[in-house]
Structure 1
Amino acid sequence: MGGIEADTMLVVGMFLALGAGALSFLSPCVLPIFPAYLSYITGISVKELQGNHDGEIRKKLLSHSIFFLLGVSLIFISLGVGASFLGQWIQELLSGDSGLLIQRIAGVFIIFMGLFVGGWIKFTALMKERRFHYSKKPMGYLGTFFVGMGFAAGWTPCIGPIFASILFLAASNPGQGVFYTIMYVIGFALPFLVLTFFLGSTKWIVRHSGIIMKIGGVVMIVMGLILFSGLMPRISAFLLQLVQNTWLTKLG
């Protein structure tokens, strides 16, 4: 595989990871409780959060959100690094065509998780929440950081399957796994920060979260099928050719 095609595969995977992060945040497990989390980490009531914000409140919301997301990022990226090293170790242990084998296993897992996320199958073990609960948040930004870590360490019915799929993707591509995890974190963080200032928009998104999750489930299934069939290099080559032809047409 050429270096340019490999780079194209990386870009495709990173965009998918970015979308997976956004899907995790917009899921019915996270978005409905988002205002409550903001209230908890800032000490501002939900009613105040949904009203007009002055400069001081906006500053407090943004600063605490950043520390919360730093805590989330630490856990997610650490898991991504671990998955990448594990995938590399397995490939070195098995040698040969182990990379393709891991990709196919990852493909089957992602298909299964896509069916779960879309609501077409149920799996009781994934429906259990294993999140740390705090009766009283530690004071200041350090406390917010630890709450973010506790949030990320918990497996919820929506975040768990989606992020686990990213970890499998990272394990199947050890040299690129960290990038997938970072893009997942960015995808989670961007809507978090945007909706911090537009809490009223969450009601509309919550009403349509079922459709959002089904679309996300379909995308995960398609991605799983691509990994299992080994078609990613061909798709990357096609996209690369398409971009090159587009540029040549413009230059011509």
Structure 2
Amino acid sequence: MGGIETDTLLIVGMLLALGAGALSFLSPCVLPIFPAYLSYITGISVKELQGAQDRRMRSALLTHSLFFLAGVSLVFISLGVGASFLGQWIQHLLSGDSGLFIQRIAGIFIIVMGLFVAGWININFLMKEKRMQYKKTNVSYLGTFFVGTGFAAGWTPCIGPIFGSILLLAASNPGQGIFYTILYVIGFALPFLLLSFFLGRTKWIVQKSQGIMRVGGVIMIVMGIVLFTGLMPRITEFLLDLVDGTWFSRLG
């Protein structure tokens, strides 16, 4: 049962990381300025990007997006690796159930950040945007890469708390922490690439972004509670019973 519990926690954590990446991109801090970022890195006006795109424009858009995401990925994954090493060091430093201790700390942090992301509490210092500035003088793929690293290094009101939760999750499970970070990056990159070619249809997502954040905040709170209380073994047992029909036979 211990191996199954670990596997289930890993799968849940990976799904949370994937969803957290998508939530970061769809947040009110990122999505509304997404067209401006694309225009900035490609040198193409927002109006042109939203209009009919020829093959040359689409090729430039895709290539610049990939270089931008490469810069973002470098920063995020580096932080994930650092969090994994830190978690491993703490587990070696502390005796006993240090992994459980870090897991509970991560649970508390994720609950608080979930309340913040959902808009139910305010944390003033997280509302201050800190971004590494990079002045892009001309359009180049290398410049786009550095704009991506500058974007990822920024601490915005939406990305910071969400990604911070994933970093703590990585620290609580150092052996799999890198996978959490990679899935976070994939979750961020997929909607970025998809919406790059459908800029004219992003308005309705922007209008619904507050609701998306609220749902994401609730999911974070639930996951935080599960991590803090150690309910994963019971949830795993329930799911296994549900799959093999034992739970239904008990009801009968």
Task: Give 3-state SS (helix, strand or coil) of 1:200's partner.
Answer: helix
What are the equivalent positions in structure 2 for 1:73-152 lying under 5 Å apart?
A: 73-137=73-137, 139-152=139-152
- Name the CA shift for 1:88/1:181 in 2 (closer, same or farther; >3 Å): same
**Worse-matched range after superposition: 122-131 or 159-168:** 122-131
- Name the CA shift for 1:242/1:144 in 2 (closer, same or farther; >3 Å): farther
| Inter-partner Cα distance in structure 1 for 2:235 and 2:209 | 30
Identity of aligned residues (%): 78
Q: Determine the structure 2 residue equivalent to 1:228.
A: 228
| Inter-partner Cα distance in structure 2 for 1:229 and 1:125 | 28
What's the CA shift string for 1:174-200, capped at 9, x where partnerless?
111111111000000000000000112
Q: Determine the structure 2 residue equivalent to 1:171.
A: 171
| Inter-partner Cα distance in structure 2 for 1:71 and 1:109 | 27
Q: Determine the structure 2 residue equivalent to 1:72.
A: 72
Runs of 4+ that moved beyond 4 A: 240-245
Partners of 2:5 and 2:232 within 8 A in 1: no
What's the CA shift string for 1:62-92, capped at 9, x where partnerless?
0100010010000001000100110111111
| Inter-partner Cα distance in structure 2 for 1:172 and 1:39 | 39
- Name the CA shift for 1:169/1:64 in 2 (closer, same or farther; >3 Å): same
TM-fit CA distance, 1:113 = 0.4
Q: Is 1:13 aligned to 2:16, yes or no?
A: no
TM-fit CA distance, 1:98 = 1.1
What's the CA shift string for 1:70-129, capped at 9, x where partnerless?
100000010001001101111110120111111111111111000110111111110111
TM-fit CA distance, 1:237 = 4.0
Structure 1 unaligned runs (5+)?
246-252
**Worse-matched range after superposition: 68-77 or 3-12:** 3-12
| Inter-partner Cα distance in structure 2 for 1:54 and 1:241 | 54
Q: Determine the structure 2 residue equivalent to 1:49.
A: 49
Q: Determine the structure 1 residue equivalent to 2:203.
A: 203
Instruction: Provide the aligned C-alpha RMSD in A.
Output: 1.6
Structure 2 unaligned runs (5+)?
246-252
- Name the CA shift for 1:240/1:18 in 2 (closer, same or farther; >3 Å): farther
Partners of 2:43 and 2:139 within 8 A in 1: no
| Inter-partner Cα distance in structure 2 for 1:60 and 1:117 | 34
Task: Give 3-state SS (helix, strand or coil) of 1:112's partner.
Answer: helix
If the length of structure 1 is used for normalisation, what is the TM-score? 0.93
| Inter-partner Cα distance in structure 1 for 2:244 and 2:67 | 41
TM-fit CA distance, 1:201 = 2.0
User: How many pairs were matched up?
Assistant: 246
Q: Determine the structure 1 residue equivalent to 2:162.
A: 162
